[in-house]
Structure 1
Amino acid sequence: MNQFKRLTAAYPPLLWVRLFGETLTTLSNTMIAPFLVLYLSENIGSSVIMTMLVIGLQPFSEILLTLFAGGVTDRYRRKTVMLISLLIQGVAMLGMAFSDSMLLFALSYVANGAGRSLFIPASRAMLADAIEPKQLSSAFALLNTASSIGAAIGPLVGVLIYQQNPALAFLFTAISLLLYALAVWWKIPHSEQPAATLETLDTPSASLRLHTYRPAFAIMLLALPISLFYAQTETNLQLHFKDMLPNYLQTLALLATVKGVLLLLFEFLLIRWTRNLPPRLLITGSYFCFAGVGLGYAFLDHVPSLLALQMLLVLGESIGLTHLLTFVSRIAPPSMRGRYYAITGTHWDISRMCGPFLGSLVLLHYGGAMLFTISALVLLLGGIAMNLYLSKKESAFPLEQEG
């Protein structure tokens, strides 16, 4: 009990509201994610190629809005931006729940992407503003752990909902987003902008000095292999397993649940255990973990082996992605954190826009084994490139160790 009290006192209320909201929204989102491709193709009706193009619309809208969203985050108060973005996402989910055509679904899906493009950089920048740098990795790990609670339960509930009425999952997600918005409005105080923010934004030449953002663009490009891999696991893996496994729906839900449970149990501990190791080693190591998972997805058709593979996926996600977020906060000037998080996060949008469509072409012509083998090779090359880049940057941005 005393240890729990010390933990709650170590972080501001912002983090605990985020933990509540991320748990709730991840629970509802993971009811949808493992079955979205199947839902579009089976319930609304479309070809595989058209389905992947529609799925690519949301990240496309996020890419278009990324720089705008980052600038809004740095110019206006973070809380206001977070509230507006959550409301946009909630309304968009209601639209998806009641869509009876691909056009209406696509429009709602794009609106949801617009809301996400505002929320993610605003929420990450606000966290970096409010928490000491030496505690930031642990804070991100706690957020991911909260998401894992929802991810451990959501897929199993999603199977039941998908078999009864899939649209209910979108309705539950809309309600969870609106509850999250209420919690943000009620409990999170407005944060003060960094002192240099207004001066930086009002200086005409500042927005034109693209070299200021060069590290953000570099990390965004070097992280593309990871997000391209995730884009395949979120979409084409469903079709690959459908052809390969007899009970593919249950297997997809079980894999997502096991991953959520493992993240819940180990992510925060992994961050604590590795806090004194060089971020370059941890981030680069995650690429090789993901490559191993990609090869497993390519050739394994034994469910226990696929479940064991989730531990490697959790290891890569915990030590790599969390430390990468922390590294972005170290290299970003305080007055540009919103834009740095917006730019670096764009790799997810680029991959989710192009990855499902390009992956489906490989899947249809050469099969899922070839698709995930290619993903593994791209990850290996990306890990080598990221290692070379981070080796140059680590000395310029020393790490403040936690503890």
Structure 2
Amino acid sequence: MFATFARTRAEFPRQFWILIGGTFINSFGAGMLFPFLTLYLFQSLGVSMTLVGVLLSLWSVSGLIGQLAGGSLADRIGRKPMMAFSLGASALFVILFGIVSALPLVALAIFLLGITGNAFQPARDAMIADLIPEAKRAQAFALTRIAHNIGIGVGPALGGFLAAYSYVWLFAGNALFTFLFFGLTLIWIQETKPTRAASSANSRVSASFADVFRDARLIIFCVGAVSVVVAASQMFTVLPVFMKNTNGLGENYFGWIMTTNAAMVVTLQYAITRAGARFPRLPYAAVGALFYGVGAASIAVATTFPHFILAMGIVTIGEMIFAPTATAIIADLAPVELRGRYMAMLGLTWTVGFGIGPILGGLISDTIAPRAAWLPAGLAAIVGAGIFLFLARIINAPKKVYGRG
């Protein structure tokens, strides 16, 4: 095991491992805060659940702004300045939660945190694409997902302890971890944004979002990705209600479902991505989408806890195949001076998919039947697989996108 770790460590540069460590720190802080934010708004501030939903939707809307702005600014001013600004500003806005209690100020803090917090990922992913050669990118993004999942998985334990004592301590703890990554970024992270000369030598497009939206390959891929995320989102939003109301399996059972997902990602993600490096990326992404589809559709006939565990296991295999492969595909498609913007577009597919999926699943559950929601969810992912295969076979994309040649 140690020999394998040593080989893996040697395959990637030092700065990449600093980013991995920082991703864990940042995700640990996020895991501390976000599971308890709803409780803070509802119990401590006395906000109705309807208004809590509005406030969290506000965070999602501002996240769209943050992703687009973060990607654009990462291309314009650099990856490091954008990451540092995102981390530093986010820490300050979290501290604001512990200071203010007036609802308008809380809403403002949520809106600003949505912008600054979501501006980070496009810059970080663009930096990883700058640092890592094409053949190793999927594995690099797989390691990023592992670090994120470990942080998100263990963060709530400390967050729950701090929240039980005082929410002020919870906000301070999150800010502390965010500031820690901010410091690492300032001291140890070096800028990787390609020089103007390198950009000009490798691309014939100007650096603007207009060029991003003119790239038919990117738009087609994003449509397919949204279809997959529509299915994925319902496993984390509609499923707990379905398990409890239709099958009598309460919150503790869904907790084990989530633990299964996280444990599989942490233990199997890198091996699956490494094994998949031999396959063309778009067809491999289609395989991941098919796993999503089969797992989600099988929920329609699930009645026992083992079946739900099995379904989540199938979906998680799809997640482990699709998520890092999708990020690598976007990195391959992107001209060097547009990497931040392209990464922002990938982030948008998750935001849009998570916006559509729960609404669609809830609507079908209410108007037809709860079990009826899962076949369309599975079909959405299968449609995504078809789109990826279409792109691989038909669209005149660079060879590196549909094969490694």
Q: CA deviation at 1:263?
A: 0.9
Name whichever of 180-189 and 250-259 sits farther off: 250-259
Partner residue, 2:394: 392
Counterparts in 2 of 1:340 and 1:234: CA distance versus 1, 3 Å: same
Name whichever of 19-28 and 48-57 sits farther off: 48-57
Partner residue, 1:248: 250
Higher RCO (Cα < 8 Å, 6 or more apart): 1
Alignment gaps of 5+ in structure 2: none
Q: Deviations over 1:208-261 (max 9, x none)?
A: 556643333332222112223344344444444453566633233322222111
Counterparts in 2 of 1:25 and 1:192: CA distance versus 1, 3 Å: closer
Aligned length: 400
Partner residue, 1:75: 76
Distance 1:322 1:179 in 2: 26
Partner residue, 2:24: 23
Partner residue, 2:334: 332
Name whichever of 10-19 and 258-267 sits farther off: 10-19
Name whichever of 213-222 and 117-126 sits farther off: 213-222
Q: CA deviation at 1:151?
A: 3.9
Name whichever of 333-342 and 92-101 sits farther off: 92-101
Distance 1:364 1:98 in 2: 40
Given that 1:49 and 1:357 are in contact with CA atoms closer than 8 Å, whether structure 2 keeps it comes out as: no
2:320 aligns with one of 318, 321, 327: 318
Distance 2:296 2:168 in 1: 31
Distance 2:326 2:269 in 1: 14
Partner residue, 1:270: 272
Q: CA deviation at 1:34?
A: 5.6
Three-state SS of the structure 1 residue aligned to 2:55 is helix
Name whichever of 185-194 and 340-349 sits farther off: 185-194
How does 1:12-51 map onto structure 2 within 5 Å? Answer: 12-31=13-32, 50-51=51-52
Partner residue, 1:145: 146
Distance 1:156 1:305 in 2: 28
Q: With structure 1 as the length reference, what TM-score do the two structures score?
A: 0.84
Name whichever of 107-116 and 240-249 sits farther off: 240-249
How does 1:238-387 map onto structure 2 within 5 Å? Answer: 238-244=240-246, 248-357=250-359, 359-366=361-368, 368-387=370-389
Q: Which amino acid aligns with 1:217?
A: I
Counterparts in 2 of 1:125 and 1:348: CA distance versus 1, 3 Å: same
Partner residue, 1:130: 131
Distance 1:217 1:310 in 2: 29
Counterparts in 2 of 1:356 and 1:120: CA distance versus 1, 3 Å: same
Counterparts in 2 of 1:155 and 1:305: CA distance versus 1, 3 Å: farther
Given that 1:92 and 1:111 are in contact with CA atoms closer than 8 Å, whether structure 2 keeps it comes out as: yes
Distance 2:235 2:98 in 1: 24
Q: Deviations over 1:276-335 (max 9, x none)?
A: 112222211222222233234455353333223332122111111111111111111111
Q: Which amino acid aligns with 1:179?
A: L
Given that 1:145 and 1:267 are in contact with CA atoms closer than 8 Å, whether structure 2 keeps it comes out as: yes
Name whichever of 243-252 and 184-193 sits farther off: 243-252
Q: Which amino acid aligns with 2:130?
A: D
Given that 1:30 and 1:158 are in contact with CA atoms closer than 8 Å, whether structure 2 keeps it comes out as: yes
Name whichever of 6-15 and 236-245 sits farther off: 236-245
Between the aligned residues of both structures, percent identity stands at 21
Q: Deviations over 1:37-90 (max 9, x none)?
A: 676566655666554443322231232344433221111121111011112222
Name whichever of 225-234 and 95-104 sits farther off: 95-104
How does 1:151-162 map onto structure 2 within 5 Å? Answer: 151-154=152-155
Name whichever of 8-17 and 370-379 sits farther off: 370-379
Distance 2:237 2:105 in 1: 21
Counterparts in 2 of 1:64 and 1:159: CA distance versus 1, 3 Å: closer
Given that 1:291 and 1:379 are in contact with CA atoms closer than 8 Å, whether structure 2 keeps it comes out as: yes
Distance 1:125 1:80 in 2: 13
Name whichever of 74-83 and 187-196 sits farther off: 187-196
Given that 1:156 and 1:253 are in contact with CA atoms closer than 8 Å, whether structure 2 keeps it comes out as: no
Q: Deviations over 1:145-201 (max 9, x none)?
A: 22232244345666777777677655543332222212222221222423347869x
Distance 2:5 2:374 in 1: 42
Three-state SS of the structure 2 residue aligned to 1:398 is helix
Q: With structure 2 as the length reference, what TM-score do the two structures score?
A: 0.84
- Determine if the alignment matches structure 1 residue 187 to structure 2 residue 188: yes
Q: Which amino acid aligns with 2:312?
A: Q
Given that 2:205 and 2:211 are in contact with CA atoms closer than 8 Å, whether structure 1 keeps it comes out as: no
Distance 2:173 2:215 in 1: 38
Q: Which amino acid aligns with 1:221?
A: V
Three-state SS of the structure 2 residue aligned to 1:189 is coil
Distance 1:162 1:243 in 2: 29
- Give the RMSD, CA atoms, in angstroms: 3.5
Partner residue, 2:58: 57
Distance 1:3 1:222 in 2: 35
Given that 2:16 and 2:131 are in contact with CA atoms closer than 8 Å, whether structure 1 keeps it comes out as: no
Distance 2:181 2:292 in 1: 31
Name whichever of 333-342 and 390-399 sits farther off: 390-399
